[in-house]
Amino acid sequence: MMEMVQEYGEVDKIFETAPLSFSEEIWQHRGTAHPIECRGAVGRYDPVSDTITLWSSTQMPNLAHSYIVKVLGLNENQVRVITPDVGGGFGPKFLFYSEELVVALASKLCGRAVKWAEDRREHFVAAVQERDQYWKAEIALDQEGMILGVRGHLIHDHGAYTAQGITLPYNAAATIPGPYKVPNYRMQQSLVFTNKVPCAPVRGASHPQGTYVMERLVDRAAKEMGIDRADLRLKNMIKGEEMPYKKPLKTRAGVNIEYDSGDFPKAMNMALDACEYSNFKERQETARSKGRHIGIGMSLGVKGTGRGPFEMATVRVGTSGKISVYTGAAPMGQSTHTMMAQIVAEHLGGDLDNIEVIAGDTQSIPMGMGGFGSRQAITAGSSAHIAAQEVRKKVLTVAAQLLEASEQDLEIEGGEIVVRGTDIRLPLGKVANAVAGTPGYALPGGVDPGMESTQRFLTDPLAYCYSAHCCEVDVDIETGAVKFERYVIVHDSGNLMNPMVVEGQIHGGVAQGLGQVLGECVVYDDDGQLVTGSFMDYMMPRADDLPNFKVDYTVTACTHNDLGVKGCGEAGAIASPPALINAVIDALSPL
């Protein structure tokens, strides 16, 4: 067992003198939406070059590369890791597993290509899981409903091993205050080892747990005090005009939690209006008179995104005129190729068909952090943005010399440089060829060889996205079945580069969060043996279990990157569980 604590303020003194305090005991079971994404790898050894190539469904190709090099005692040029279209990661693939090493080594020892693909049962018992925590939390308020403090104790079930250290309990405890002003805070954390499958981050990385605890405390306090749940939230929320807002807690990287931009009350009010919250009491009374039990729940979740320290990107214009983008980002279903191409196209002609994005290949990019923590657009996207700007400058400089024109008169359209107001055009390939070098001949004046730029966008502070959710349900008290009447999400990811992609990520996150409320649960018997080892026992949500989502946005640009973007992949999974559970509890409150 390991103990740690996160705190600030005079917690015990506040609770001794607080007019009101309420407590909740909460168990959050293991339930993950990743068993559909089984792992696999193929290794192949080339005796001529003495190299191993590993194709692996990993979120971290460069990290996997470094592990193989270190453990097998090879040099960097003897190993290549390629991440194909893995379909989805959800967090469990952000680990280096022993099977990947065994496949790489076996291919060399036997001189044959070696393939490994796990089945569902293996995935349940060998890949990591999450969400297994036990909480006792308490909230203190004054007579007007202003939060004075929060304290509690978290027991985190680590499973049999520590796959990624204290990440999960630390994140959970640091998330508790969320969008609210909490002047005094303490959360004790006990990390315990058991004989269960190891715990490691799954979509949201314990932010759903912390958000859930706080949203339950606020609902509980509102009920006990006879205050409207929305009013209590809005009263205690950090206001838009108070941004940037720094909290006393720090991220696990040692940087203060600081919300650089946002408007939490605006998002919550938009969600409440879309759910017609103002007349819900009348609708609820009418439904109850007819024997129906409807309820409404709300929550607001905040998620730090864009974890650093960096991501690498190279933008290159070839002599063919084709634009290539190489990145250490690891695509796993979040449209990274599209996002990167859009960013580069904005600076280099706007033709997406002329841009090829190469990601997840250690031969192309020697350094990279991979995909996790809703970081790709912020880190890799910012690197590509800066690199594309540099390449654009060079393209125009060289083209101006070749065309004997002013740089200010040039524009890049599609695959050509155009002199404004004329029919004069120069293909991108010819500009790139001019700096590719010809033996014995000088380059155009004042430029270096090659039409490319490599950038590593560095970032320490996180970019905080957030979502306000409002959920209305109808609960059948005979069967326990939950029917969704409406589900509204108001989300802020800063500037939206591709709204369709963002909405898809939100839908996926909400589906995962709701699934873990409605039925997903990893169950062990009293001896620690896994009971839910297949989809016969583990309930994944189906299409008819989920509602139609209404999604709207507030847009407050992030100030930590030039793109003004915040991540979006995990936000839906964070705010959805408390919204649904609060709605069910409200529906069943007369009982």
The residue written with tokens 């409440």 in the block is 272
- The reply to whether the predicted model has a pTM over 0.85 is yes
Distance CA 584, CA 591 (A): 12
Q: How much is the pLDDT for 180?
A: 98
Question: 533 — phi, psi (to 5°)?
Answer: -105, 5
Which is nearest to 313 in space by CA: 391, 415, 393, 386? 386
Written as one string, the DSSP assignment of 216-233 is HHHHHHHHHHT--HHHHH
Query: Quick check: 352 and 342 in contact, CB under 8 A?
Result: yes
Residue 98 Rama label (left phi>0; alpha psi -120 to 50; beta) = alpha
The DSSP bridge partners found for residue 457 are 311
In tens digits, the chain (591 residues) has pLDDT values of: 889 999 999 999 999 999 999 999 998 888 765 556 788 999 999 999 999 999 999 999 999 999 999 999 999 999 999 998 787 888 889 899 999 999 999 999 999 999 999 988 898 988 999 999 999 999 999 999 999 999 999 999 999 998 888 899 999 999 999 999 999 999 999 999 999 999 999 999 999 999 999 999 999 999 999 999 999 999 999 999 999 999 999 988 888 899 999 999 999 999 999 999 999 999 999 999 999 999 999 999 999 999 989 999 999 999 999 999 999 999 888 899 999 999 999 999 999 999 999 999 999 998 999 999 899 999 999 999 999 999 999 999 999 999 999 999 999 999 999 999 999 999 999 999 999 987 777 788 778 899 999 999 999 899 999 999 999 999 999 999 999 999 999 999 999 999 999 999 999 999 999 999 998 999 999 888 899 988 888 988 889 999 999 999 999 999 999 999 999 999 999 999 999 999 999 999 999
Distance CA 395, CA 392 (A): 5
Distance CA 468, CA 578 (A): 11
Burial of 340 (0-12, 13-18, 19+ CB in 10 A): buried
Question: 269 — phi, psi (to 5°)?
Answer: -65, -40
| Residue 101, SS3 per DSSP | helix
| Residue 296, SS3 per DSSP | strand
Q: How much is the pLDDT for 92?
A: 87
Which is nearest to 62 in space by CA: 460, 340, 367? 367
Structure tokens at 132: 């297994």
DSSP state of 548: P
Write the CA distances from 441 to 317, 397, 432, 448, 485, integer angstroms.
Answer: 21, 19, 15, 14, 73
User: Which is it for strands 425-427 and 416-419: parallel, antiparallel or unpaired?
Assistant: antiparallel
User: Which is it for strands 416-419 and 410-413: parallel, antiparallel or unpaired?
Assistant: antiparallel
Q: Is the dihedral of CA 326, 204, 527, 153 positive or negative?
A: positive
Which is nearest to 452 in space by CA: 478, 431, 438, 427? 431
Distance CA 50, CA 107 (A): 12
Distance CA 397, CA 394 (A): 5
Q: How much is the pLDDT for 34?
A: 59
